Structure 1
Amino acid sequence: MLICLCVTPGVAHVQERPAFAPTRGERLVGETVADHPTAYYRFEEHTLDSADGKRHYRIQIGIPGTPVPAGGHAALYMLDGNAAIDTLTDQDLEWLSRRNPPVLVAIGYDVPTCNDVVSRAYDYTPPVIEHGQALARPVVRGRIGSGADVFLEFIENRIKPLVRARANVNGGEYLWGHSYGGLFALHVLFTRPESFSRYIVGDPSIWWHEGVLMREWEVFDKPRAAGKRVAILVGTKPREGGRPAPSSLPIRTSSGATLDSRSAAREIAAGLLAHTAAASYETFPEQGHGGMVRVSLERALQIAAEP
């Protein structure tokens, strides 16, 4: 059935970024919850490099201070890990500790800012297939993309084994992503759905490269999503000054229909629900794209803390 959850009381709420501030990706990350161990969580930091040596990752693993449940902890893998850790609060960790706390895995980049926008653009975007051939270096907004399959292999072969070696994880593995991270999460669901059991998707950038993700959706064998929990969360607050958002860019389906990112996300949720996935689509009229980072991460924490 369609699932709708309310924002958890006691979890900090998002504040709009002042117009003069740097973008989220450019903003320096100061001290975070990972720098102050508590009775609720302790954090470890690990650095890893991509196989080609071009991308450098900071993996922060938050291990609950509560006793390990009989079946092991669940693990919440958070893309845009620097920004995710910067968003978490002590109150979040305390709230989790009183429920079924998951291991928190922040997959970020080894940079002082919230993001490495060049690496992120490559890692989080799907292959582009034209005339049966994959484009070698598709460029959107001046950045090379289509490294999502390489990045997924990196998660499966390097990050998950690291997490399992450091924490008792046997209770399910969940994936949260926002924007390009949400695009990546849906790509994983459509290509290797067994990789995670729950997907929490915030404001996915389905518009990327003229909506190439929708072609994956159209050929996806929908029953493979059976039993998956998929929450799609979308902010619908208009941009200031009436400026068009990327989410309004037209996406053409194989049937000739034209959608925008929000309509496409709604169609995906409905299609998943029809094939027995526990899927939901929820809009937040008071939140713009940036605000959905906090909102969707809150929801991911709630879902990850469920028994």
Structure 2
Amino acid sequence: MIRLSILSLCSVLGAASVYAQTPVAEPAPGMQLVGETVMDRPSSWYQFERHMLDSADGKRHYRIDISIPRAPAPAGGYPVLYMLDGNAAMATLQDDDLAKLANSGHPPVLVAIGYDVPTRNDVVSRAFDYTPPTYENGQRVHQEDDRGRAGGGADIFLDYIQSVIQPLVKSRTAVNSRKEMLWGHSYGGLFTLHTLFTRPAAFARYVAGDPSAWWNDGVLVREWQAFDAKQAAGKAVAVFVGTKPRDPNRPMPNLPRAKPGQAPVENPRAIIGDMAEGLRQGGANVTYETFPQHGHGEMIRVSLERALDIATQP
């Protein structure tokens, strides 16, 4: 009996050793659980509220987290920072960020536009909401990303922000409409620049972190080429790009192909700086910065920190 027990114990320990040595798979990008955020802790600087909304077609479900400064609103109303990928943004924010905003003298309202999921992103809804549509011969073309997720709903989503989310925020607190700002990272950065190039009056300030300008053969590049930069005159535009070499094990996204009758489009990331310079020449107040020490995923924190700083500027 003793021998059998020892053998059994050895078998259990051996199996445990094998399991301990088996690496745990990392969650796919965007699928990490959010967990506790600043909203779940008492704050001396901000008061929080959450609103659950549905898209007009009922297919996408939004979580709108509004953080309102406890300091009285200025005469013209608070500035507002609208943050795309709201779940990930709230998971990225820290208590020290809120304290810094509160002590800036110009604390903004923070509006996290997220999805009703426990993870950092709803990757299917995000792919649709954040990517620009493509038209051929006046007809919208069906689009999918490299994982088969439908895209091209950016204009529908922008309509929703302007007709539902912005009025909701203005019903909850005093807002300075001349100081509304949009921030987004990756697909969110793509959406931010798409908004600037198609409806520049939608916001006064735009911050794009590592925008996915390669989407759908560089449709954003085409939008930029058709955009009159003078329409952005007076806007504050900031673009932050991580240039750390890409992990060789990760496949590259599909880069733009030339369209019939059009000149070839270069690597869109390489011409984001040209976009920034063109906007500057058109009269926008432009900040463009590259970060060789940071990769794409790291840029969410970097660009959000910069957005928070810009949001507090008079």
Whether these two folds match at TM > 0.5 is yes
Q: Matched residues in 2 for 1:19 and 1:181: separation?
A: 29
2:18 match: none
Q: 1:240 offset after TM fit, Å?
A: 2.6
Contact 2:221 2:268 in 1 (8 A): no
2:7 match: none
Amino acid at match of 2:228: D
Which residues in structure 2 correspond to 1:87-102 (within 5 Å)? 87-99=92-104, 100-102=106-108
Counterpart among 123, 133, 154 of residue 148 in structure 1: 154
Counterpart among 67, 73, 81 of residue 76 in structure 1: 81
Q: Matched residues in 2 for 1:251 and 1:114: separation?
A: 31
Q: 1:258 offset after TM fit, Å?
A: 3.5
Contact 1:207 1:251 in 2 (8 A): no
Counterpart among 300, 306, 311 of residue 304 in structure 1: 311
Task: Tell me the matched-pair count.
Answer: 288
Q: Matched residues in 1 for 2:279 and 2:139: separation?
A: 28
Does residue 213 (structure 1) correspond to residue 220 (structure 2)? The answer is: yes
Contact 2:183 2:192 in 1 (8 A): yes
Does residue 65 (structure 1) correspond to residue 70 (structure 2)? The answer is: yes
Q: Deviations over 1:176-220 (max 9, x none)?
A: 000000110111101110000000000001100000111111111
Contact 1:252 1:259 in 2 (8 A): no
Amino acid at match of 2:41: H
2:90 match: 85
Kindly tell me: are residues 133 and 53 of structure 1, through their superposed partners in 2, closer, same or farther at Cα, counting changes over 3 Å? same
SS in 2 for 1:44: strand
Amino acid at match of 1:173: E
Which residues in structure 2 correspond to 1:159-178 (within 5 Å)? 159-170=165-176, 172-178=179-185
Q: 1:42 offset after TM fit, Å?
A: 1.1
Amino acid at match of 1:84: A
Amino acid at match of 2:199: R
Counterpart among 269, 284, 306 of residue 277 in structure 1: 284
SS in 2 for 1:181: helix
Between 1:18-27 and 1:33-42, the stretch displaced more is 18-27
> Which is greater in Rg?
2
Q: Matched residues in 1 for 2:75 and 2:114: separation?
A: 30
Between 1:283-292 and 1:23-32, the stretch displaced more is 23-32
SS in 2 for 1:54: coil
Does residue 44 (structure 1) correspond to residue 49 (structure 2)? The answer is: yes
Q: 1:19 offset after TM fit, Å?
A: 9.6
Q: 1:23 offset after TM fit, Å?
A: 3.2
1:179 match: 186
How many percent identity over aligned positions? 59
Counterpart among 173, 183, 189 of residue 196 in structure 2: 189
Amino acid at match of 1:72: G
Amino acid at match of 1:151: F
Contact 2:64 2:111 in 1 (8 A): yes
SS in 1 for 2:110: strand
SS in 2 for 1:83: helix
Q: Which runs of 5+ in 2 are unaligned?
A: 1-22
Contact 2:83 2:183 in 1 (8 A): yes
Q: Matched residues in 1 for 2:191 and 2:209: separation?
A: 11
Q: 1:250 offset after TM fit, Å?
A: 4.1
